[in-house]
Structure formats: structure tokens, C-alpha cells
């Protein structure tokens, strides 16, 4: 399978990595179109395409005659997710506070989700923090025959899906996501530091391998004041 990425996608990925690493912060001016064309040895067309995509996603803004700048909104403690790459990017910008790492979990619900009978699973639960504030409460379930290769240290500073790819060499192909509204019970409200019965976003994700095997089921309860979701819709 080809790993080729169009030049505009490479430019976009480069700028995103520079912003997420802190090389360019909110309000900072980005390299000019001429500087980017020289760096990537390309024409201005793919550079402008990359910048337009970042602008539409709210990452940057362009000021005629002055240049291109990182959006000030990126510094307000809000995280935007709209792709698997965004989820992976959480590892460098947030901290995971582990609550439990339990092996041998069983339930009818898990069997139904993973389409197995009497399966055994690993459950990982905790709170992901953004700038010291709880962003969401997370429960992750993995088939035990796969997750047994992971340890607590493997997920201390990186999302589980990254650990699966890097340590176990399991390539993820796609993710199916469902978003719904919910109310925080007393326990969840305590974890998220919000009032009891506050509205939250419930996000469920199923991750699949290249062989269409379900590798992970994740359920997150997110604070809506610190979380935004982005979708890019296109014609096939």
C-alpha cells in the first residue's frame, strides 16, 4: 500500500507539528509563502492549499499585507479533535491521569461490541488533563490477547492507539465515532470538576485494523467548555 502524501498535506502536517510543539504559539507569525515554497521545493499552489485548509479548520488566520498567524483561540485551553492524527497529537499537549488498569474484564456489552463470546478484555480508565484542567474522562477496552502486551508505563504519556502502533506494531486503518449528549452523575462530575448533572459530550470510538478487526473501544465523557469537534465533509 502506498504511503505517498500530496505535497499540500505534507506542508499542512509540518505546520501543525510546529504549532503543537510550541515552535509557533498563539498569535505568532508563520513562515511566508515564499519561505514555504523554498523549503518544500514546490510552487505556491500547494502552499496556499495547505494554508487554506488550516484557516478553514481555525488553526490559523491570514492578514492581508502582514502574513499568516497562529489563531489566538489555540491558547484558550480548548482542544479540537477531527481526525485520528488529532487524537494522536493529544500525547504531546495533555497529561493522562490513570485511574485503573484492569485485566480480565468480561461483560455482555463488551462481547456485543467486539462481536465475540465470553471474551476477556483489558480496561483502562482515567482523566486526560489539558493545561491542568480535566478535559475528559476516558474508558478504553482492549481484547486481552492484544492488550496483554501493554503495561501502565506504555500509556503514561501517550494515547493507547499510539502505544498499539508503536509497541505492538498494530496498524490502525479507521475509526467509527458516535457523539451524543449526556448528564454527568456525581462521580463523573467530581472527575471533571463540574457541577453534578452538568451536560457533557459522550464520544464513543471503535478502532479497526487493516483486517477490519476491532482493536479498541473507547468511551469519553468530555467537558463541552474545553472541547470542540471538527468534521471535514467532502464529496467522494
pLDDT tens readout for residues 110-129: 999 999 999 999 999 999 98
Q: In this predicted structure, what is the pLDDT of residue 185? A: 95
Percent residues over pLDDT 70 in the chain: 85
Share of the chain above pLDDT 90, in %: 45
Lowest mean pLDDT among 14-18, 22-26, 148-152: 22-26
Do 178 and 202 reside in the same domain of the chain? Answer: yes
Same domain for 71 and 91, yes or no, is no
The runs of H, that is alpha helices, within 118-168 are 144-147, 160-168
What does the alpha-carbon distance between residue 167 and residue 50 come to, in Å, rounded to a whole number?
Answer: 31
pLDDT at 118: 92
Cβ neighbourhood burial of 118 (10 Å; 0-12, 13-18, 19+): exposed
pLDDT at 172: 83
Q: Is 43 among the domain residues? A: yes
Asked whether residue 1 is domain-assigned, the answer is no
Residue 234: predicted pLDDT: 54
Domain containing residue 46: CATH number? 1.10.10.10
Q: How many domains does the chain have?
A: 2
What global pTM score does this model have?
A: 0.66
pLDDT band at 197 (very low <50, low <70, confident <90, very high): very high
Q: Which of 1-5, 53-57, 194-198 shows the lowest per-residue confidence on average (mean pLDDT)?
A: 1-5
Residues 144-160 have pLDDT tens digits of: 998 888 988 888 777 88
Same domain as 214, residue 156:
yes
pLDDT at 15 over 60: yes
In 77-213, the DSSP E strands lie at 79-81, 94-105, 121-130, 133-143, 172-183, 199-209
Looking at the structure, tell me whether residues 196 and 88 fall in a common domain.
yes
Q: How many residues does the chain have?
A: 236
Which residues form the domain of 12? 7-75
The answer on 200 and 101 residing in a single domain is: yes
Is 86 contained in some domain?
yes
Give the domain-ending residue among 75, 108, 130. Answer: 75
Query: What pLDDT, on the 0 to 100 scale, is given for residue 233?
Result: 59
Asked whether residue 1 carries a pLDDT value surpassing 50, the answer given is no
In a domain, 235, yes or no: no
Amino acid at each position: 500500500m502506498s504511503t505517498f502524501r500530496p505535497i499540500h498535506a505534507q506542508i499542512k502536517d509540518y505546520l501543525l507539528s510546529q504549532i503543537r510543539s510550541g515552535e509557533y504559539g498563539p498569535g505568532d507569525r508563520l513562515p511566508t509563502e515564499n519561505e514555504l515554497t523554498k523549503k518544500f521545493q514546490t510552487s505556491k499552489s500547494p502552499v496556499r492549499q495547505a494554508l487554506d485548509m488550516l484557516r478553514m479548520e481555525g488553526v490559523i488566520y491570514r492578514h492581508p499585507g502582514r502574513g499568516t498567524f497562529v489563531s489566538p483561540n489555540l491558547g484558550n485551553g480548548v482542544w479540537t479533535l477531527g481526525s485520528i492524527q488529532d487524537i494522536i497529537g493529544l500525547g504531546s499537549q495533555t497529561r493522562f491521569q490513570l485511574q485503573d488498569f484492569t485485566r480480565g474484564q468480561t461483560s455482555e456489552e463488551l462481547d456485543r461490541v467486539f462481536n465475540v463470546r465470553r471474551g476477556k478484555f483489558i480496561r483502562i480508565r482515567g482523566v486526560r488533563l489539558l493545561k491542568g484542567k480535566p478535559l475528559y474522562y476516558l474508558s478504553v477496552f482492549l481484547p486481552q490477547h492484544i492488550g496483554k502486551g501493554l503495561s501502565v508505563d506504555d500509556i503514561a504519556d501517550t494515547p493507547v492507539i499510539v502505544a498499539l502502533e508503536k509497541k505492538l506494531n498494530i496498524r490502525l486503518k479507521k475509526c467509527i465515532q458516535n457523539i451524543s449528549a449526556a448528564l454527568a452523575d456525581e462521580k463523573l462530575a467530581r472527575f471533571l470538576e463540574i457541577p453534578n448533572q452538568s451536560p457533557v459530550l459522550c464520544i464513543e470510538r471503535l478502532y479497526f485494523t487493516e483486517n477490519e478487526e476491532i482493536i479498541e473501544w473507547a468511551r469519553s465523557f468530555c467537558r463541552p467548555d474545553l472541547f470542540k469537534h471538527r468534521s471535514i465533509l467532502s464529496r467522494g
